Amino acid sequence: MNHILFISGGELVLVMLLALLFFGAKAIPDIAKTLGKGMREFKKATNEIKREINENTSDIKRDFNEIKDNVKKKTDEVKHEFDEQTSDVEKNIQKISDDVKEKANEATEKVGKETTKLGKKIEESADDNAKDKKDDDKKGIKDYTED
């Protein structure tokens, strides 16, 4: 089916016959010529409007692109500075962590040595107590047997 502007072929023929009857055979070419000029003027005006819009918006697009580029540049600068600061902070944290580990190891060694010394003193004290108790027990047995 041939549809032009939602009009079927039969309806199009009917419209052409009615135009022929109303305007006559001599007026139809003039009407078509006038319609052609009107369509050409409409297309010309439309193209002129498009051109003006493009010219005016090109300034806006250029300004927008400049702003976008400036924002991107500043954002990149801030990101770079932030990354540098973050790197410095991470280095400081690592240094502090290493210092804490070193001090903890030193403290652990010191506590281990002190614990060993205390253990030896406790053993010596226990041995002395056991020896004293053994001596006391011998003395007690000796006293008991003498009585």
Beta-carbon contacts of 7 under 8 Å, excluding residues fewer than 6 positions away, are 15
CA angle 110, 111, 117 (to 5 degrees): 90
- The answer, yes or no, to whether residue 145 has pLDDT greater than 80, is no
In the structure encoding, which two tokens stand for residue 25, read together?
């055979």
Confidence of residue 146 (pLDDT cuts 50, 70, 90): low
The pLDDT tens digits for 106-131 are 999 999 898 998 888 888 888 877 77
pLDDT at 71: 95
- Residue 1 — very low, low, confident or very high, per pLDDT cuts 50/70/90? very low
Buried b (16+ CB within 10 A) or exposed e, 25-51: eeeeeeeeeeeeeeeeeeeeeeeeeee
**Assessment of whether the complete model's pTM goes beyond 0.95:** no
φ, ψ of residue 7 to 5 degrees: the values are -120, 130
Q: Where are the domains of the chain?
A: 9-146
Determine the 3-state secondary structure of 4 from DSSP: strand
Residue appearing with tokens 């409409």: 42
Over residues 1-9, mean pLDDT: 64
The answer to whether 125 and 133 have CB atoms below 8 angstroms apart is no
| Cα angle, residue 143 at apex, residues 139 and 147 outer, rounded to 5° | 170
